[in-house]
Structure 1
Amino acid sequence: MCRWLAYSGEAIHPALLILEPRHSLVAQSLNSPLGAETVNGDGFGVGWYPSTDALMPEPALFHSIEPAWHDENLRELTQAIDSPLFFSHVRAAAGPPIQQTNCHPFRHGRWMFMHNGVIAHAPRLRRDLMMALDPELFPLVHGTTDSEVVFYLAITYGLQEDPVAGLGRALRHVEEIAEAHGVRDVVQGTFAVSDGETIWAFRYSSMHKSRTLYYSVDMPTLQEMYPEVDRLRLFGARARVVVSEPLTDLPGAFVEVPESTVVTIDAGGGYREAPFLRDDAA
């Protein structure tokens, strides 16, 4: 449905990952071998937390309905800013219209969220899902995507206190509403959440056949594996990325995230995996 990446580590220009690798996110917007759709040209977005010396309490966002490969502003922006943690997303619309309010990532306070996948029969379920939102959050849903509704539903269920439990409760509620409507296998996707310090990335679907998700091995190991690759010296020891599909063909550089799993990347570059909503997994 879409492609995305999330980076954490030393501050870098986002262009180093969004534009420059052989299989960069912009390259994947034109040709995505592992995606459900080969082309992801229905808009894009970048969300970033400024470097620590910047006085900005919330992440900044840039959204466009242009295809990522066609937008000169994306190139200018990602080469000019630097950030220790950023999200980027290219969209293949599954029904909701192509408009800026439907572009990922979404933001609430210091929190960012993005999704690759779909909530099956979302228009049929939307009224019940929206009615489950905290009344104070209801007017903050500006677009028409199922992804934005899931984000605010997760906040309703406590994402800001416990991101793993909050998103888990939200997706279970989506499944309960879908079951009441006779909809099976409702949740499909990978999800990313951040508070500016930590990234939580989830691979989950109701049918336990989720969209692809990968993480990079730690940078010191990668630099030791490939000392001849000059490009790797542009990254610090804490650099980590979670991606819909690998950005490079280097063997061993990326590892697939297991099905029904949440991965956590902290500010120090540490990586942890844990089961996510596996209690009834096939």
Structure 2
Amino acid sequence: MCRHIAYLGPESALGGVLVDPPHALFRQSWAPRRQRYGTVNADGFGVGWYAEGDPVPGRYRRAGPIWGDQSFADLARVVRSGALLAAVRDATVAGADDEAAAAPFAAGAWLFSHNGAVAGWPRSLAHLADGLPAVELLSMEARNDSALVWALVLNRLRAGDEEGQALADTVLEVARAAPGSRLNLLLTNGETIAATAWGDTLWYLAEPGRSTVVASEPYDDDPHWVEVPDRTLLAASRTDVLLTPLKEPEDAIRPTDDETASASPKETSA
């Protein structure tokens, strides 16, 4: 489906996090070790990073595979940052959005990624889209499920919700409307990381006071990687990591037969 990673720590070349480790995101684009849905993440990639003194991150996104982009190889070698979010994408349905559909999505200081798929998309979330301000819908970068999930999260952030609450409430809202969805969300503002484990793998590696990495899967065999339990909200900084259980909505709307069929991994758009 996708693989993603967020890093907070000492300033490092992008490649030090995304390319150099033996099982880094770069390698996960063709040889993920723990991916449950899909096999090759070659339908786009992106990285967003923060520069000292500027709260608004820069982004580099492309529609093709990360391994075929020589410009990214140069960027990864020379660009340095102490905070980043990156993702590689596996989309089984063709679309016209190209790099606009590749995470990270961005607004202000925030970077966002979705690893998963919304069951019954797009009909299952039509009523949630109706509840968004028109400007939010018109500002969506792409027309896939991840972009709408981001619009729902962003609407909460702009209303004043803190990052973890915005992710948790969005996951529960989408899960209620579209049971069976996979909703691993990842969000950073350059100072903190919020993430959800909901239907796919999530891990973190923390060196308190120095660095925190949150990722779909470990990028090396360090024994200190910790797997996040399913149905969990993670909130992290450079100094600590907090895990909070999330409960399955009891009033979830059961999908129709047509929506259940469209939730197959062959019909996802994340």
TM-score normalized with structure 1 length: 0.81
Q: Which residue of 1 aligns with 2:5?
A: 5
**Alignment counterpart, residue 260 of structure 1, candidates 214, 231, 249:** 231
- The equivalent residue for 1:70 is 68
1:90-144 CA-to-partner distances (Å, cap 9, x unmatched) read 0000425260110001001111110110001212235333222123322110201
* Number of the residue aligned with 2:261: none
User: Which amino acid counterpart does residue 269 of structure 1 have in structure 2?
Assistant: T
The worse-fitting range, judged by mean Cα deviation, of 190-199 and 91-100 is 91-100
- Residue identity matched to 1:255: V
C-alpha distance in 2 between matches for 1:240 and 1:106:
21
CA contact (8 A) 1:85 1:196 kept: yes
The 5-angstrom pairing of residues 213-224 of structure 1 reads 213-218=202-207
- Counterparts of residues 80-229 of structure 1 (less than 5 Å): 80-95=78-93, 97=95, 99-158=98-157, 160-178=160-178, 184-185=179-180, 187-204=181-198, 210-218=199-207
Is 1:192–1:200's contact at 8 Å kept on the other side of the alignment? yes
Q: Which runs of 5+ in 1 are unaligned?
A: 179-183, 205-209, 220-236
* Aligned mates of 1:172, 1:249 — CA distance in 2: 33
Aligned length: 248
The Cα of 1:278 is off from its aligned counterpart by: 5.3
Paired position in structure 1 for 2:28 = 28
SS in 2 for 1:136: helix
* RMSD, matched Cα: 2.1
CA contact (8 A) 2:168 2:196 kept: no
Greater relative contact order, per chain length (Cα 8 Å cut-off, separation 6+) = 2
The residue aligned with 2:44 is 43
Which shifted more, 83-92 or 129-138?
129-138
Name the TM-score, length of structure 2 as normaliser: 0.85
What percentage of residue pairs aligned between the two structures are identical?
Answer: 30
Q: Which residue, 199, 211, 219 being the options, matches 1:239?
A: 211
8 Å contact from structure 1 (residues 9, 269) kept in 2: no
SS of residue paired to 1:88 = strand
Unaligned runs of 5+ in 2: 251-270
Q: Which residue of 2 aligns with 1:232?
A: none
